[in-house]
Amino acid sequence: MVLTSNNLNARLNKDTQFCISIASIPSNFGTVLHNAAYAKLGLNFAYKAFSVSDIKNTVVGIRALNIRGCSVSMPFKESIISYLDVIDESARVIGAVNTVVNEEGCLIGYNTDALGAKIALESINADHRESVLLLGAGGVSRAILFALRQLGFKQVRVANRDLNKINNLKAILPCYPVAWSDRQSEFASLIINATSIGMCLEDVMPVDAPFLEKSRAVMDVIVAPWETKLMAYAAATGKAIAPGCLMSLEQAMAQFTLYTKNPAPKETMEWALRDYYYTQRISAV
């Protein structure tokens, strides 16, 4: 069951616990999945996405309004850390937070992206002996590197426009910095897009078609649109693919458990995911 505005309003009361997501360009992905799961389990929770630009005062608002949980998206996964009270060990190693839980006024930062990334990599049978090209060096790249470390990868190249940001990733996993202009200079069996390229329909692919065709598998972190040009081309050329929705679904399920202390109803969230993308496809026509 996907929660609609009508049955959400019917359940809101003074005891409702609110969870939110924050991003510079938010989507309804988390809103649809979390509210569907709350409804399935009959929990007095509600979830809403917000576009924010001031992370310091956003955290002040979370405290003041006693927001139960907060999903953190680009570009705040690193900058939010200094405003939290406690950082979970894995999030500390990663250096990025995508989940905040309010435990009686104490804001605790977690990273569920790493779990989602690990499951996404396993879905395409990622082999630790493969060479990897990771595009981007932001907060989500940190989580992906942590997952690659857990899986034993050693041949990892990271391409970014700011090479200094790549140097800061080496504490997570030793990797080779590559200038953005040189990202296609060497073969990579596994290509991972951890940039925002693909969020806009007019975006070109982050790598050229001939370079992509030589790879074995491709992973993306973009949730909307439902199919980026990178994923569409990779699928059409027979590559193993892990679209952004897979990583996001798994990390959202982990967030749900942190917020509610209940196991996530996976089947319900998967159905909500299908409904979300069906709506996306219809609206794009």
- pLDDT digits over 230-258, tens only? 999 999 999 999 999 999 999 999 999 99
| Confidence check: pLDDT of 284 > 70 | no
In this predicted structure, what is the pLDDT of residue 12?
A: 87
In this predicted structure, what is the pLDDT of residue 202?
A: 83
Q: Judge if 205 and 261 occupy the same domain.
A: no
- Residues 15-39: tens digit of each pLDDT: 999 999 999 888 888 999 999 999 9
CA angle (82 as vertex; 80, 86 as ends), nearest 5: 95
| Confidence check: pLDDT of 206 > 90 | yes
Contact assessment for residue 273 and residue 249, using Cβ atoms and an 8 Å cutoff? yes
In this predicted structure, what is the pLDDT of residue 180?
A: 97
In this predicted structure, what is the pLDDT of residue 87?
A: 98
In this predicted structure, what is the pLDDT of residue 285?
A: 44
Q: Judge if 216 and 254 occupy the same domain.
A: no
For residue 93, count CB atoms less than 10 angstroms from its CB and return exposed for 0-12, middle for 13-18, buried for 19 or more. middle
The domain containing residue 78 runs over which residues? 5-111+246-284
On average, the pLDDT of the chain sits at 92
Query: Dihedral through CA 131, CA 136, CA 140, CA 143, nearest 10?
Result: 30
**CATH number of the domain bearing residue 220:** 3.40.50.720
- Residues 173-182: tens digit of each pLDDT: 999 999 999 9
Q: Specify the pTM.
A: 0.88
Q: Judge if 12 and 97 occupy the same domain.
A: yes
Q: Judge if 151 and 207 occupy the same domain.
A: yes
Q: For residues 26 and 97, what is the distance between their CA atoms, to the nearest angstrom? A: 17
Q: How confident is the model at residue 9 (pLDDT cuts 50, 70, 90)?
A: low
Q: Judge if 32 and 58 occupy the same domain.
A: yes
Find tokens 């009686």 and name the residue. 104
Q: C-alpha distances in angstroms, 284 versus 199, 224, 225, 244, 279? A: 13, 11, 9, 18, 9
Q: Judge if 218 and 134 occupy the same domain.
A: yes
Q: For residues 44 and 181, what is the distance between their CA atoms, to the nearest angstrom? A: 50
Alpha helices in 47-206 (DSSP H): 55-64, 89-94, 113-123, 139-150, 163-167
- Residues 71-94: tens digit of each pLDDT: 999 889 999 999 999 999 999 999
Q: Judge if 120 and 238 occupy the same domain.
A: yes
Q: How confident is the model at residue 120 (pLDDT cuts 50, 70, 90)?
A: very high
Q: How confident is the model at residue 3 (pLDDT cuts 50, 70, 90)?
A: very low
Q: For residues 163 and 168, what is the distance between their CA atoms, to the nearest angstrom? A: 9
Q: Judge if 65 and 130 occupy the same domain.
A: no
Coil, helix or strand at residue 133: strand
**CATH number of the domain bearing residue 94:** 3.40.50.10860
Q: Judge if 73 and 125 occupy the same domain.
A: no
Query: Which among 77, 118, 229, 239 is annotated as catalytic?
Result: 77
Query: Total structural domains in the chain?
Result: 2
Q: Judge if 121 and 43 occupy the same domain.
A: no
Q: How confident is the model at residue 203 (pLDDT cuts 50, 70, 90)?
A: confident
CA angle (69 as vertex; 137, 280 as ends), nearest 5: 65
Q: Judge if 126 and 190 occupy the same domain.
A: yes
Active site residue 56: no
Find tokens 């104490």 and name the residue. 106
What percent of the chain lies above the pLDDT cut of 70?
A: 94
- What mean pLDDT comes out for the span 103-127? 97
For residue 269, count CB atoms less than 10 angstroms from its CB and return exposed for 0-12, middle for 13-18, buried for 19 or more. buried
Q: Judge if 83 and 21 occupy the same domain.
A: yes
